[in-house]
Structure 1
Amino acid sequence: MGDDAGGDPVGNTSVFPPPPKTYEVFTEENVLWLQVLQAELDRSGQRESFRSMAPEDRRALQTQLLQDASHRDSDGADDALRKDENVVLPDIDLLELMPPDVSWIEQDGGYQLFGQRWPIPEATPTLEQLGIPRMFPPDPFDYVEALRTLLRTMLFTYYQLTNDLLQPIQPYEASGGGSNPKAASGTESQELSSNHATGEKQHEDPEAGPITDSVTEVSTTRLKDHLQHLETTVINFQYLMNQLRPVQASASLETLLEEQVKRREEQTKVLRDKCASIRDAIEKLSF
C-alpha cells in the first residue's frame, strides 16, 4: 500500500487505544536494577514510603541508593550490570516495574484501564442507570416468557418499519416560521414540489409576501420512532440475555460433564468387553 499525504505508511487501524509502552522498559538490566533497588529499600526500611514519594524525590532516592549499592556487592547483581568497569544507572523510574498494590485497588473500589473505570467487585449497570426504558416486569418474572415477548415485539416493530418503507412516497411536512405563513402550509409545500418537478416558474403572492428561505422540508418522525423502539427492544433483549449468562454457563458445564461421564462409560464398556473376550480365549486355550 502507498503512503498517505503526510508520508506515513498506511497500516491497520483499530478503535482501541494502543497498549502503553511500559513493556519496553522491562529489559534484563532494568529487572536486575529493580532487584538491587528492592534490596536497598529493605535494608534502609524505606520500601513503604518509596511509593508515596513525589516523582522527583523518588528518582533522587533511587539514584542515591543505586550508587551506594554499586560500590558493594548487592545480591550479586552488580557484576551483571557493569559495562567496561563502569556502572550505567537506569534512566527510568523503576517504580514502573513494580506490580501495583492490590490492597490499594480494593480499597479504592476499582481501577482505571484505557480511560474506563472498572469497579471491584464487577457491577453491571441497570437499564435505569443507563437511561433506557424497561420493557419487562420487575423481579420476580419468567425470563423465558419475557424474552419471547420482546422477540415478538422486535418482529412486529420490524414488520411495521418494513411496511412504512414500502409505502409510496409521501408528501413532506413543511416546518419553519419565517415571514410567510402561507408558504408554511402543507398545500403550499406540495405546490412548490410540483413546480420543481414540472419546471414551472414560481410566482410570488403579493398578499402573502415574498417567499423566504426559512421554509424547510422535514420528513415524518414515524420511521425514527420505529427505529428508536426497535433499538430499545434489542437493548432490553440483550440485557435479559446477559442476566442468563451464568445459567447458560452452568448448563453448558453440566452438559460437558455429562458427556465426559458418557464417554468414560462407553470406554469402560469397551474395555470390559475386551477383557471378557480375552478371558474366553484363555479358557478355550486351557482346555
Structure 2
Amino acid sequence: MDDDDAELRNPFPSPPSHYTKYAPHNLKLLALLRERVPDPSDPTVNQYEVLSDQTDVPDWPLSQLEKPRVDWILEEPDAYYDVFGDRWFVKEKIPSLAELGGNQLYPADPSVDRRPALLSVLRSLLVTYSALTSSLLDPPPALSQAEPPGWQRQVEWINVLGQNLMAAANDLRPVQARGNLELMMKRQLELRREETKTMHSKCDSMQAKLNELRSSLSLEQQDTMTSVVCLDGF
C-alpha cells in the first residue's frame, strides 16, 4: 500500500492536496468564467482568452473547482461514491445468499412466504445432525478410499443449511425492527394514558378535598355569623 492509500484510510486523513486551489480569488474567477462561457468544462474553451482582463489566472483548468454532479452519480445503476478510500453505495442493498455465492434454499423474492422452505431447512438440519452423530460411530475409512467420509459431507451440508437460516434471519431484521418499534410506541402510548388517568384521578381527589374545605369553611362562617347575631340581640 503506497502513501496515498495509507493516507486515505487514515481515520483522521489530511485535507486533499488540491484544497489550496479553492482560494477566494480562484472562486471569483470561476464565477466570472461561468458568466462569460456557458460551459466552462468544455475543453475547447481557453480560459486565458476569456479572462484576459483578469490577473493571476491559474495554469490549471478552473473547471476543476466545479462541484461534482450528483445527478450523474444517481443515473448509474449501482451508484456509489468513495470516501477516505472506502466505497459506499447510494442505495444500500443487502446482497442475498445467492448473490454472495451461497446455495440459497429459500425463495429470493421477499414477497413469497418463506416459512415452508425454512421449515424444510430446519427439518433437514435436524435429520443431518442426527445422521452426523450416527456416522461418528462408524469405523474409520480405508486409506485407499477416494470418497470423503460421511461425516464430512454431513458437516458441509449442515454448514449450507446454517447459512440459509442465518441469511433468512438477517433478511427479516428490518421487519423485526419495525415490529419492535411498533410495540415500543404502543407501550409508550399506554404509559402516557396511564399517567394521564392517574393525573386526572389526583386532580379529582384534590378538587373534592377543596370542595370539602370550602364547605367546612362556609359552615364555620355561618356559625360565626349566627353567634354574632345572637350576641347583638342581647
Give the C-alpha shift of residue 249 in structure 1: 3.0
Of 158, 174, 188 in structure 1, the residue corresponding to residue 144 of structure 2 is 174
- Residue 285, structure 1, aligned to residue 217, structure 2: no
Tell me how far apart the structure 2 counterparts of residues 226 and 268 of structure 1 sit (CA, whole Å): 60
Q: Which of the pair has more CA radius of gyration?
A: 2
Query: What aligned pairs does 1:257-276 form with structure 2 within 5 A after superposition?
Result: 257-276=185-204
Match for residue 222 of structure 2? none
The percentage of counterpart residues that share the same residue type is: 22
Query: In structure 1, the residue corresponding to 2:191 is in which secondary structure?
Result: helix
Which residue of the partner structure matches residue 178 of structure 2?
Answer: 250
Aligned with 2:68: secondary structure?
A: coil
Q: Which amino acid aligns with 1:107?
A: E
Distance 2:119 2:27 in 1: 60
Answer yes or no: is 1:144 the counterpart of 2:135: no
- Look up the equivalent residue of 2:114 and give its one-letter code: Y
Amino acid at match of 2:115: V
Q: Which of these residues, 137, 140, 154, is aligned with residue 125 of structure 2? A: 154
Residue 233 of structure 1 pairs with residue 161 of structure 2: yes
- 2:76 pairs with 1:108: yes
Change (3 A) 1:28 1:173: closer
Change (3 A) 1:69 1:43: farther
Q: Pick from 35, 40, 45 the counterpart of residue 37 of structure 2.
A: 45
Distance 1:243 1:159 in 2: 28
Which residue identity does 1:267 align to in structure 2?
E
Aligned partner of residue 144 in structure 2, secondary structure = strand
> What is the distance in 1 between the residues matched to 2:61 and 2:144?
66
* Residue-pair matches, total: 201
**Residues of 2 paired with 1:38 and 1:161: CA distance?**
72
Alignment-derived partner of residue 16 in structure 2? 25
Q: 2:30–2:63: 8 Å Cα contact kept in structure 1?
A: no
2:101 and 2:11 map into 1 onto residues whose CA distance is: 33
Distance 1:106 1:90 in 2: 32
Following superposition of structure 1 onto structure 2, how do residues 9-20 of structure 1 map, counting pairs within 5 Å? 18=9
1:272 to partner: Cα distance: 0.9
Unaligned 5+ runs, structure 1: 1-16, 72-88, 176-217
TM-score normalized with structure 2 length: 0.59
Provide the alpha-carbon RMSD of the alignment.
4.6
Letter in 1 for 2:156: Q
| 1:111–1:119 contact (8 Å) kept in structure 2 | yes
Instruction: Give the corresponding residue for 1:224.
Output: 152
Which shows bigger deviation, 114-123 or 271-280?
114-123
